[in-house]
Amino acid sequence: MRIATFNINGVKARAQTLQSWLREDAPDVAVLQEIKSTDGAFPRDLVEDEGYTLHTHGQKGFNGVAFAAKIPLEDITRGLPGDDADEQARYIEATAIGEAGAVRICGLYLPNGNPAPGPKYDYKLAWMERLETRARAMLAEETPFLMTGDFNVIPQDEDAAAPAKWHDDALARPETRAAWRRLCNLGLTEAFRTRHPGQPGHYSFWDYQAGAWDRNDGIRIDHFLLSPWVADRMTDCTIQTEMRGREKPSDHVPVWLDLDL
């Protein structure tokens, strides 16, 4: 089973990119963030014409997450538990059925949190606590699962080309990294860093501004966290860097997880 996470930064602006990517790279499940579209306004044809089934959790203008899958997905749920007043569309879950078993896939667009400190940062930290609570629940019931998406977290300095300029940013502040470590320390495996230990220079996001891509001034913020059963079945995790150099790119690139499943 090949799963890819991709923050597309607007489905209307990325329609052709998304369709040709599905056709050529053909993930079994594509986990999408920042569709920036309501469910009704999503151009479904571009996904369905490639043989994919689409499940969206959309919102007008901002946020929005989705699955596009060519294998069966069951029991889709929308929204992160823990705050009934939260109206932001940032979380979706589904169970993917593989040949050797099922895995619960949690697709997420974690809040950016800037400016920090402030109410947006408080929302980010509260959201991370809710995510930890959700992970604890699935571990307790021994549901094999993975969490993937745009975490808006730079886990360590080696995950940024210029780490110092991020130290006061919501993506790398000490409280953010502490919340990230609490999540990992439940017993989850961070797929990319486990497959590529100690290797700097691997990023998944480059700002549109100030020629960040041309200078390779990137950060690694799109991740996979795996429960133990899923981690045992990982065969690879890679970043599709070349996508950032194409015409009209997203500011993020896809990250791929290969499972023997």
Partner DNA sequence: ATGGTTGGCGCCCAA
Residue ranges of the annotated binding site for Mg(2+) are 7, 34, 150, 152, 251-252
Task: Please identify which residue in the block is written with the tokens 């490639």.
Answer: 50
Q: Shortest approach of DNA to residue 86 CB, angstroms?
A: 13
Distance CA 218, CA 199 (A): 14
* Binding site residues, DNA, CB under 7 A: 9-14, 36-37, 60-63, 111-112, 114, 120, 208-210, 248
The answer to whether the beta carbons of residues 11 and 37 sit under 8 Å apart is: yes
34 vs 93, which CB is nearer to DNA? 34
252 noted as active-site residue: yes
Q: Which is nearer to DNA, 51 or 208 (CB)?
A: 208
Q: Which two tokens stand for residue 63?
A: 């946020």
Q: Give the C-alpha separation, 126 to 190, whole Å.
A: 21
CA atoms within 13 A on the CB side of 224: 32
| Rounded Cα–Cα distance for residues 205 and 217 (Å) | 9
Annotated binding site: 7, 34, 150, 152, 251-252
| 3-class SS of residue 178 | helix
**Nearer to DNA among residue 172 and residue 261 (C-beta):** 172
Cβ at position 88, least distance to DNA in Å: 8
What span, in angstroms and rounded, lies between the C-alpha atoms of 188 and 239? 20
Residue of 121, 203, 223, 252 marked active site = 252
Nearest to 100 by CA among 129, 77, 71: 71
Would you call 109 a catalytic residue per the annotation?
Answer: yes
Cα angle 248, 253, 256 (rounded to 5 degrees) comes to 145
Cβ at position 5, least distance to DNA in Å: 15
Question: Choosing from 150, 159, 169, 222, which is the catalytic residue?
Answer: 150
Q: Which is nearer to DNA, 182 or 215 (CB)?
A: 215
State in angstroms the smallest separation of the CB of 61 from DNA.
Answer: 3
User: What letter does residue 209 receive in the DSSP assignment?
Assistant: G
| Residues pairing with 80 in the sheet | none
Q: State the Cα angle at 120 between 145 and 211, rounded to 5°.
A: 85
Q: Name the minimum Å distance from CB 7 to DNA.
A: 8
Q: Which is nearer to DNA, 145 or 213 (CB)?
A: 213
Residue from 52, 91, 109, 203 carrying the catalytic annotation: 109
Q: Where in the sequence numbering do the catalytic residues fall?
A: 109, 150, 252
